Amino acid sequence: MTPANFDFHCHSIVSDGFLPPAVVAQRAAANGVDLWALTDHDDISGLSEARGAAEAAGMAFVNGVEISIEWRGVPIHVVGLGFDAANPALTGGLDELRLGRVERAKRMGEALAAIGIPGVYEGALTFVTNPSLISRAHFARYMVSINIARDVPGIFQHYLTPGKPGYVDHRWATLDDAVGWIAGAGGVAVVAHPGRYKMSGADMRHFLGDFKDAGGQGIEVTCGSHSPDHVMHFARLARHFSFHASRGSDFHGPDESYVDLGKLPPLPEDLKPVWRLVI
């Protein structure tokens, strides 16, 4: 097939999205997506439901996940596509990451209580469908609900980013771990939303070189958080490193997303689309 509209980055209630996997699938199909991947954070338990709903809606489906890693102290996300969801190394690695998320969330709650905002861990759990995937987004949503700040970005800015009182560091997977799990399961590793990382141009090139050396094959060029300048910049880097290019909305829900499913502009025409590697 040659898809006209593929979206390879979005989330459901399995991680920090607002909608069940089947509803995300239906929304994607209604928006004209014809090739779709669900990429929940560090969890693949929604894939079976997502695949069934996608096929019922007439969409082709690719297994996906977004894995949290750390490279030289910088938190980065790597999307895995087209892997065997039963691969034991992949599933075991994701299990370990989810266990670490719970421990980190409890420490975040303690840190916020220490500055006079008690009960945030417990409150965040009321916004969570999958307790093992509790995240900073759930903390932020709860804190908005109790009027600590006006919106989620405001909570992140003042409380939940490095150097702020509610931020707790955590040891995520390594680059080699994540790419190894994905490739070992027969999948393709893709750098998620590279424009969001706080690193210099030189550091980004160094990271992309390490990513390629580890076996990474793709980079998100067109994604929800990328400006037109980002698209041009990361298109150049895709060409330089001979990466396949991905496209993903990073949709979480109707009221908390950069762009809706399938509503991104197309990739630059000369790039190699990553779907060629997974269908």
According to DSSP, the β-strands at 218-223 and 188-191 are parallel
Nearest to 207 by CA among 65, 93, 70: 70
Residue 140 DSSP SS3: helix
Contacts of 167 (CB under 8 A, 6+ apart): 108, 111, 159, 160, 161
Helix (H, G, I), strand (E, B) or coil at 273: strand
How confident is the prediction for the chain on average, in pLDDT? 96
pLDDT higher than 90, residue 94: yes
CA distance 183 to 81: 9
Euclidean distance between CA atoms 261 and 16, whole angstroms: 16
Q: Flag whether pLDDT at 218 surpasses 90.
A: yes
Q: Given pLDDT bands bounded at 50, 70 and 90, which one contains residue 100?
A: confident
Going by their DSSP bridges, the two strands 74-81 and 188-191 should be labelled as antiparallel
Token readout for 102 is 């719970």
Q: pLDDT value at position 130?
A: 83
Contact between residue 101 and residue 114 where contact means Cβ atoms under 8 Å apart: no
pLDDT digits (tens, 9 = 90+) for 222-263: 999 999 999 999 999 999 999 999 999 999 999 888 899 999
- Largest Cα–Cα distance in the chain? 56
Distances (CA, A) of 211 to 60, 138, 205, 208, 218: 28, 29, 10, 5, 9
The vertex-17 CA angle with 69 and 30, nearest 5°, equals 120
Full-model pTM: 0.89
Quote the strand ranges of 139-202, DSSP E.
188-191
- For residue 171, pLDDT beyond 90: no
- pLDDT value at residue 111: 97
119 contact partners, CB below 8 Å, separation of at least 6: 109, 113
